[in-house]
Amino acid sequence: MSTPEGAAAHPQPDAAPDPGAAPVRESEPFEPAGVDWTPVSPRLASARLVVALAWLGVPLLVLVVVAVLTGSIWVWLSAAVVAVLVAWVGWLVPRQVRAMGYAERADDLLLRRGILFRSMVVVPYGRMQYVDVTAGPLARKLGIASVQLHTASPGTDASIDGLPTAEAARLRDQLASRGEARLAGL
């Protein structure tokens, strides 16, 4: 009895899994095999915490001063809510930064981020139009920069925040040369 063409390529749903195959992990779309991820600098967490404290610390200080002067329980409760939010941000931001990374492959660049809501972007070198490196005053003080990738489609633009400045310059040059080489090959 012969099998229809292509039947071997699509196993039946009730077929037993191949015992020699690697087990399928749920996170496989976010952890491609053979990829060595490069993490961003932990100094990015410091930069983000400074900004968060600037936005949350001032209202917290104002609420505590008003609560002391008025003695109102509602103002104290508001200050407690903001304090809990400051603690949560202090716990969350370093975890988010540790989840960020990138990987250079032969034909594309992989970017990942997220803990609860994970994201992985694949940017083919041939689609890159130009690469920006930016750093604000706080980032320059901490010795980090961001690399922004601009592609033919605005929906696939991507950025890598929190790179040491030397790595940002190397990556900018590397991505630009790979993008030019792929574009010339089209």
pLDDT in tens, 149-174: 888 777 666 899 999 999 999 999 98
Per the DSSP assignment, residues forming a β-bridge with 54 are: none
Q: Sort 102 into a burial class: Cβ within 10 Å, 0-12 / 13-18 / 19+.
A: buried
| 162 belongs to a structural domain | yes
pLDDT in tens, 75-109: 999 999 999 999 999 999 999 999 999 999 888 88
- If asked whether residues 55 and 124 sit together in one domain, one would say no
- If asked whether residues 181 and 133 sit together in one domain, one would say yes
| 36 belongs to a structural domain | no
pLDDT in tens, 20-53: 555 545 557 777 878 889 999 999 999 999 999 9
Residues of the domain holding 85: 43-97
- If asked whether residues 108 and 131 sit together in one domain, one would say yes
- If asked whether residues 85 and 154 sit together in one domain, one would say no
Return the sign of the alpha-carbon dihedral for residues 85, 86, 91, 95. Answer: positive
- If asked whether residues 91 and 117 sit together in one domain, one would say no
| 22 belongs to a structural domain | no
Q: At what angle do helices 73-98 and 43-70 cross, to 10 degrees?
A: 180
Per the DSSP assignment, residues forming a β-bridge with 144 are: 164
Q: How many domains does the chain have?
A: 2
Q: What does the pLDDT read at residue 60?
A: 94
- If asked whether residues 105 and 177 sit together in one domain, one would say yes
SS3 111: strand
| 140 belongs to a structural domain | yes
